[in-house]
Structure 1
Amino acid sequence: MTPEELLAARDRVVPDVVAGGLRVLFCGINPGLMSAAKGLHFARPGNRFWPVLHRSGFTPRQLRPEEQDELLTYGLGITNVVTRASARADELTAEEYEEGGRQLTARVERLRPQWLAVAGVTAYRAAFGEKKARIGPQERRIGDTRIWALPSPSGLNAHWTLETMAQEYGRLRSSVELP
């Protein structure tokens, strides 16, 4: 992908992969430029979302970003707190996070997943005003939907290894009701 193609993807929106009644709706912070350019979630090769999803037991094999729609067959989906793409999450404003939290709440109220899993505790804090939130299950609910804050799978989140991330995602997996 050329630098020009990546720059042209700035502010694009990557469509959600959702359906009503999901077991888990995974929620990224916002799409990166490569994800937006490809129109696929977690599309940057160094992003650990797909390997972690498999290692934690959510999928029977490691999916590729272009197979993202297959998540629906496992009762899983993907959305974002902030819909517009940027090169880095630190380019987002507090207002964008707050508005993203309101829009995400409306999506969750409509879709009614068992769990909303926000992949980025900092994004969860900013979107929902929960300044002291930590990784793990949260007290807040959206209707009957429970919330779990997960570590971001971004390669920039270097203090979480693939293995420790898979363990945390696995804790969520063991809390999810199977169909």
Structure 2
Amino acid sequence: MPDVIAPDLDVLFCGINPGLYTAAVGHNFARPGNRFWPALHAGGFTDRVLSPFEERELLKLGVGITNVIERATASADELSAEELAAGGRRLEATVRRYRPRFLAVLGIGAYRGAFGRPRAVPGPQTETLGATRLWVLPNPSGLNASYQPDRLAAMFRALHEAVTSTGASP
């Protein structure tokens, strides 16, 4: 999956890894039932629900997308601890290169494994990557029943409020 990325974004959203459907169509969060695009809109990042096929429009809004791990799988539980740790190192290099103001990792387990933070909880994190602030959001997969759409939207909205309160463009 190619990243949707540019230097100095306001927010770089980071999925765990592409699902098989997403990899097949070549667009991020493309599987029907994935709640990323509705949550992005409900959180205030977009003025309408974008289609995965419009993902490059995000760059105009100061938003991008990447993944911790590039390999596509049917589910994230197929990923090893070693893959997550290696993905965290790759992600750190990407963040240092592109310097987004915020990195929002979509999945608490992915964040914990990639950054070696076993007790991390969703929301803003105390550590940073250089000047980039870290934020953890739930995995927006439709398989993640722990977070219903209203709760997911509220968590995306909290990030959006943090971004806009620190002088960003969205």
Smaller-chain TM-score bracket: over 0.9
Q: Which residue does 2:123 correspond to in 1? A: 136
Q: Which residue does 2:12 correspond to in 1? A: 25
The partner residue of 1:84 within 56, 60, 71 is 71
The partner residue of 1:113 within 100, 103, 108 is 100
User: CA shift at 1:82, angstroms?
Assistant: 0.6
Q: Which amino acid aligns with 2:161?
A: S
**Segments ≥4 residues shifted beyond 3 Å:** none
Q: Distance in 1 between matches of 2:33 and 2:50?
A: 14
Q: Which amino acid aligns with 1:25?
A: L
The partner residue of 1:96 within 83, 95, 116 is 83
1:108-153 residue CA offsets vs partner (Å, 9 max, x unmatched): 0000000000000110000000000000000111000000000110
User: CA shift at 1:178, angstroms?
Assistant: 2.2
Point out which structure has higher relative CO (alpha carbons under 8 A, 6+ apart): 2
Q: Which residue does 2:26 correspond to in 1? A: 39
Calculate the TM-score normalised by the size of structure 2: 0.97
Secondary structure of 1:156's counterpart equals coil
Q: Which residue does 2:51 correspond to in 1? A: 64
2:168 paired with 1:178: yes
Q: Distance in 2 between matches of 1:55 and 1:150?
A: 14
Secondary structure of 2:105's counterpart equals strand
2:40 paired with 1:50: no
Secondary structure of 1:117's counterpart equals strand
Q: Which residue does 1:156 correspond to in 2? A: 143
Q: Which amino acid aligns with 1:136?
A: G
Long gaps (5+) in structure 1: 1-13
**Equivalent residues, number:** 166
Calculate the TM-score normalised by the size of structure 1: 0.92
Q: Which residue does 2:110 correspond to in 1? A: 123
Q: Distance in 1 between matches of 2:108 and 2:62?
A: 23
Q: Which amino acid aligns with 2:126?
A: E
